[in-house]
Amino acid sequence: VTASAVAATVRDAEAGLILDLDRAATSPVHPDVLSAMLPYFSELAGNPASVHALGRRARHAVEEARERVAAAVGVRARQVVFTSGATEALHLAILGSLAARPGAHVVAAASEHAAVIEALRSAERRGHPVTWLAPDAAGRIDPAALVAAVSEATALVVVMRTNNETGVQHDLSPWYERLTEHGARVVVDAVQAFGYEPLSLDLAGADLMALSSHKVAGPKGCGALILREGIEVEPQQRGGGQERGLRGGTVDVPAVVGFGVAAQRAARADVRGARVAALRDRFEQALVGDPSVTVNGAAAPRGPKHSNLHFAGVDGETLLINLDTLGVMASAGSACAAGSLSASHVLVSMGRSVAEARQSIRFSFGEELSEQHVDVAIERVRRALQSSR
Ligand SMILES: Cc1ncc(COP(=O)(O)O)c(C=O)c1O
C-alpha cells in the first residue's frame, strides 16, 4: 500500500469512513444470514411446536440449523441446545451441572467473562465454594495448578478457550483426562474462538462448550450449549418442553436459522483466522515501534483477532474518545453502567495495576478489513495518541 493510497483513505475517513475495530464485541449480520432469516419473520412464521404445516416448516428449519451448528464443531445434532446467547448457555452449563451436586466445589479462572463470573457468584451464594485461579503476567492459566486444585469434591473446571479481552488461548485438551479423573466436568466458553480457530469438544478439552451467534456474523440474542454425549444438565428454565426439555420457551426461529448459516460460515475458521491474524499483526507491528506501546498477553499463545495494547501514560478513556472522534471503534476491558471505564478485571488478574489497566485498549479485527484499512487505523491511532498525551 502506497503512502498516497493511505493519504487518500485518510481523506475518505474524514469524509466518514468508520473503522470497526471492535469485532470481539459483536459483528454485523452477513447478508446470506439475513436473507435466510427473513422468511421466518413473515410468510414462514410458524411455531416449531405446532403440528400444522407452518409449524412443521419452522421445525424443519430449526433442525437444519441444529445440524449446521453441530457440523461446525463436529458433534451430532442432539448435542446442541439453542439458547438466547452464550450467557444463558454458560448459566445452563454451570448451574445446570451443579444442581446434581449440592455443595460441590468449582475451579475457575479469574480472567473469565462476566457471564461465567456472575454464574459462579450465583453458585457461591448457593453454597458452592469456588477456587479462582489467577493467570500469570501473560494471561496464561497454569494447567498443572488447575489439576492440583481439582479433588473428588470438584464438580466443574471452568476456563475459557480464548480470552475476549486479550485473545490469550488456553488449551485444556492435553489435561482433560487429569482434570476429569475424579468426576469433574470441564466447561469451556468458546465464544471468541468460534469461527476464528478450529473448534470441537476434543480440541477444547471440554464436556460443555458455549457458543454465541453474534460474534460470527449471526444475529444477537442467540447461542448454543454443546454437550458431550451422555452429559446431562438440569434445565434452568422450564416451560413447554422445547429443546428436549432443557430450555423451555418458544424457539426464536429466525435467529436460530441465522445462527445456522453463520455457523456454516464459521466452519472455515482456519482461513478466516489466518487472514485476521495477518491484519492484527500488521497493526501491532506498526504501533509497538513506539516504546510506550506494549501488547498485553504478547508472551502467550493468542487467538487471531485481538490486540490489547497498553499505552504508557495515556488515559484509556481519553484515547477511546479521541479514536471515536476519528472514526475508530475500539473498547476498554469493561464499562460500568454509567459508561465510564472501570479497570479491566482481566488485566488486573494478570498483575497489571489499576492504572495500567486503565491505559489499555482492546482492538479486534474482522475479516472484511483490508490492509489499507489497517494502515488508516494505524495513522488514526497515532493521531489520537498525540491528542491524548
Ligand atoms: C468470551 C465471551 N463469553 C460470553 C459472552 C456472552 O455472549 P452473549 O452475548 O451471546 O450472551 C461474550 C460476549 O460478550 C464473550 O465475549
CA distance 389 to 11: 24
Q: What is the pLDDT of residue 6?
A: 54
C-beta 85 within 6 A of ligand 1? yes
Listing from the earlier edge strand, what are the strands of the sheet with 360-364?
293-295, 306-311, 360-364
Confidence of residue 16 (pLDDT cuts 50, 70, 90): confident
| pTM for the model | 0.95
Residue 11: pLDDT over 90 = no
CA of 24 from ligand 1 middle (Å) equals 9
Q: How far is CA 385 from CA 135, 239, 311, 341, in A?
A: 29, 53, 8, 18
Q: What's the burial of 76, exposed, middle or buried (CB within 10 Å: 0-12/13-18/19+)?
A: exposed
Q: Average model confidence (pLDDT) for the chain?
A: 95
C-beta 86 within 6 A of ligand 1? yes
Q: 33: helix, coil or strand? A: helix
CA of 275 from ligand 1 middle (Å) equals 23
- The residue whose CA has the least distance to atom 14 of ligand 1 is 25
Each residue of 299-349: pLDDT tens digit? 999 999 999 999 999 999 999 999 999 999 999 865 444 455 689 999 999
Residue 336 among the catalytic residues: yes
Q: What is the pLDDT of residue 12?
A: 56
Catalytic hit among 3, 53, 271, 336: 336
Please state the rounded mean pLDDT for residues 65-79: 98
Each residue of 222-233: pLDDT tens digit? 999 999 999 999
- Mutating to test ligand 1, I would choose from 87, 88, 252 the residue with most ligand atoms within 8 A of its C-beta, which is 87
Each residue of 119-146: pLDDT tens digit? 999 999 999 999 999 999 999 999 999 9
Q: How far is CA 264 from CA 40, 144, 218, 285, in A?
A: 19, 35, 10, 32
Atom number, ligand 1, closest to the C-alpha of residue 215: 13
Please state the rounded mean pLDDT for residues 116-121: 98
Helix axes 53-72, 253-266, angle to 10 degrees: 30
Helices (H) and strands (E) in the chain, counts: 14, 14
